[in-house]
A and B are shown apart, each in its own frame.
Chain A
C-alpha cells in the first residue's frame, strides 16, 4: 500500500475511534455514583444537591496559598453532608474557562476560582452559565451569579509588626514580598505601622522577588536582607522558605527571627517563628455554602456579595501554629518591652504603658477577638473599634496620606500603591 492509503486508513480509524468514544460516553447529567475515595460514605437516598468544584492556580503541594484552599475544601466537605466537592490543581488562567466548562458539564454547580488571574475567565463563564454559582477569590469583578471573597491579613501583619519592632536588635526588619501588588503593599504597610508603633527608629527593608512561588528566589532575598543586618523577617510568598532560612541561621547560633505566612508553619522554624498569619478559608466557604443551601444566595443576587473577612469573622488567625497566637518562647522577651501609649479596651479597661505582649492582645480585642490563654481558645466579639490604617499616616516621601483620626476605607486599601514612612522598598505604581 502507498503512504497515502495508509494515511487515509489512519484518518478513518481515528474518526471511527472518536465516534465510538462519543457514542460510548454517558449522555446528559452524570449518573449519581459513589465517589471512590475519602468522601463521606455514599448515601443513595440523600444524593448531594450541590456539587462544588475548586480551581487552583498552583500545586496543593506548595504548602502555601493553594494548600490552605485545599484544607478549606476538605473542611467543608466534612461539614456538609449534602455537598460533594472536587478540585483541579495547577490550572493556568488560559485553561480556566475550559476547566470550568468541563466541571459544569460534569454537573458541578458551585465553582470557586482561587487566583486573581482567574478574574476575567470567571466572569466570562458566569455570563455563560447563569444557573451556576461562581465565587472568585481576591478579585474585584462581580456578576449576578458571581461573588468575590477574600480573607485579609493586614490586621495580623500589623500585630506581627508590633512584635517585630520589639524583637529587633539591629533596628532593621526585613520583608520578602512576592509582588508589590496592592494586597501585598497593604500587608507591608500594616506591618511597618506595627513596627513603627513600638520602635519608631526601626526601618523595614523590602525585597520583591517577582514570583508567587519560587523558593530559590525567596531564599536569596532573605539572605540578602540578613546580610544587610536584618534580624527579623516577614514575608508574603507561597512557601515556607523564609522561615527555613531563619532557622538555618539559628542553627548556626545567629539570631534571625521570622513570622509564618498562610499555613501553620512552625515546624519549619520552631526556634525562630515568633508568630504569623494563618488563613481559615473554611470560615468563608462555610458561610457561602450555608447561604446557598438555605436559599439566601441565588444566582441572581451575588452582584454585591463581596466577602472581605478579617479577624473578627475568624477568617484569619494570629500565629504560626493553630491556637497559639505567639510562640511561648518569645513571650517573656515581649513582656520586657513597654510602649509609651494608652489603650482603651471596649469594656472600659485602660492600659497605660503596656508591654508588647499585652499590647498585641489588647489590639486583637479591639479588632474583635479575645484570646483565652488558660483554655487555649478564642472568642469573637464582632466589635471592631481599632484599625491600624488610622491617620496620621505619612508615606516615605513625607506626604500625608491620611489626616489624624481618619481611617482608610476599603477602596484606599484595595488600591494601595505607596510605602509607609519607615519602609525602604522598590518603586511602586506604573500603569
Chain B
C-alpha cells in the first residue's frame, strides 16, 4: 500500500513538473542572453488557450502544441521588442505581459468554457512496457508516462548540450555576461537576444499546451494558476542550468502532489497548501547560497539593455 502511494505521488509529481520544466528551460535561455522575462505566466496561458482551441478544432495534439508554441513565441516578441529595441524596463514589461495574457485569454476564452476536448486531442500517458512499468515505486513514474513528458526531458537535455557544449552556447552566454565584448567579436547581440526570448516564449507556450492537452483537459480561466511564477523561481534555483531545472521542476511537482497525503495525518490543508511557496523561498535561498559559494551568479548583464557604445 505504502509503495503504491509513493509510486502514485511520483507519477503525478512528474506530470505536474512537466510544464514547469519547459517554462523554466525557456526562461533559462532568455535570461542567459540577458533578457529577464517575468511574463512567463502570460505566455503560458496564451499557449494553454491556443492549444485548447486548436486541439478542439483539429483533434491533433501535436498541431495544438505547435500552435501553442507559436502563440507563446508571438507574445514573447512584445516583451523582446520593448526590452531590446526600446530598452524599456524588463520587470514592468514582464508584469504587463502576464496581465495582458490573463486578460486576453479570459476575453477570448468565454465561448470555450464547458467545451470538452476530443479524446484524440488529448495526450494520455501509457506504459512503455508492462514489465518496466511494474517495477515497484519508480516504475510507474518513469515508464508509464506520455510522449510529451519524455519529449520535454529530451528538449531540456538538448538545450543543456547546446548551452554548454557548442559554440552557439558560448555565444549566448557571452551575450548575457558581456554584450559589449560579444559585440566586439562580431556577435549580433540583438539577434541572439531576440532568438533566446522567442525560444523562451515558445517553450512557455508548449508548457501551457501540456496543461490543457494532458494535465487538465478543458478550458477554464486562469488555468495556469501561478505556474509561470514558480518557473521564474526555478530558473534561479537551477542556477541557469537546464539539467538542474529537470531536478528542480520534478522535485517541485512531487512536493505539490504529496501534500494531500499528509492531510489524513491531521495537518491543516491550508498550511499544507503553503508548502510549495515556502519551498520556493527555501530553494531560492539555497540557490543563492550556492551561487555565492561557487562565485557564479546570474548572467552579469541580466535585465540590462544593450546599446552599442553606451554604458
Contact = CB atoms under 8 A, between A and B. Distances in A.
A251 B113 contact: no
Given A61-B106, A220-B12, A208 B263 contact: yes
Contact of B119 (A208, A244, A251, A427): A251
B32 to A, nearest CB: 29
A241 interface: yes
B186 interface: no
Given A240-B218, A244-B216, A215 B114 contact: no
B153 interface: no
B139 interface: no
Contacts of B257: 220, 223-224
A223 B263 CA distance: 13
A279 interface: no
A221 B260 contact: yes
Contacts of B309: none
A225 B221 CA distance: 25
Interface size on B, as a range, is 35 or more
B220 interface: yes
B79 interface: no
Q: Which of B5, B113, B218, B219 has most chain A Cβ within 10 Å?
A: B218
Interface residues of A, number: 39
A216 B124 contact: no
B290 interface: no
In this complex, the member of A205, A227, A268, A424 whose beta carbon has the largest number of chain B beta carbons within 10 angstroms is: A227
B106 A59 contact: yes
A210 B12 contact: no
A403 to B, nearest CB: 31
A252 B125 contact: yes
Interface stretch (B35-43, B83-91, B265-273): B265-273
Interface in B196-242: 215-223, 225
B58 interface: no
Contact of A63 (B125, B220, B256, B259): B220
A424 B225 contact: no
A207 B267 CA distance: 11
B122 to A, nearest CB: 7
A217 interface: yes
A270 B96 CA distance: 39
A173 B261 CA distance: 16
A359 B126 CA distance: 38
Interface in A190-219: 205, 207-211, 214-217, 219
Which residue among B9, B221, B223 has the maximum number of chain A CB atoms within 10 Å of its CB? B221
B281 interface: no
Contact of B124 (A61, A251, A267): A251
B116 interface: yes
Given A63-B114, A215-B223, A241-B216, A209 B8 contact: no
Contact of B122 (A227, A241, A251): A251
A383 interface: no
A101 interface: no
Interface in B8-46: 8-9, 12, 16
B4 A215 contact: no
9 closest Cβ pairs, A-B complex: A224-B260, A227-B8, A267-B116, A61-B221, A61-B113, A59-B221, A63-B114, A210-B269, A251-B124
Given A207-B263, A216-B16, A223-B257, 7 more contacts: A61-B110, A61-B221, A62-B113, A209-B273, A224-B263, A251-B124, A252-B125
Interface of B: 1, 4-5, 8-9, 12, 16, 106, 109-110, 113-116, 119, 122, 124-126, 215-223, 225, 256-257, 259-261, 263-264, 266, 268-270, 273
29 contacts: A60-B110, A60-B113, A61-B110, A61-B219, A62-B113, A62-B220, A63-B220, A205-B264, A207-B263, A208-B263, A209-B273, A210-B270, A211-B273, A216-B256, A217-B273, A220-B12, A220-B257, A225-B260, A226-B8, A228-B5, A228-B264, A240-B218, A241-B216, A244-B216, A244-B218, A252-B125, A424-B264, A426-B268, A427-B266
Interface of A: 59-63, 67, 205, 207-211, 214-217, 219-221, 223-229, 239-241, 244, 248, 251-252, 263, 267-268, 424, 426-427
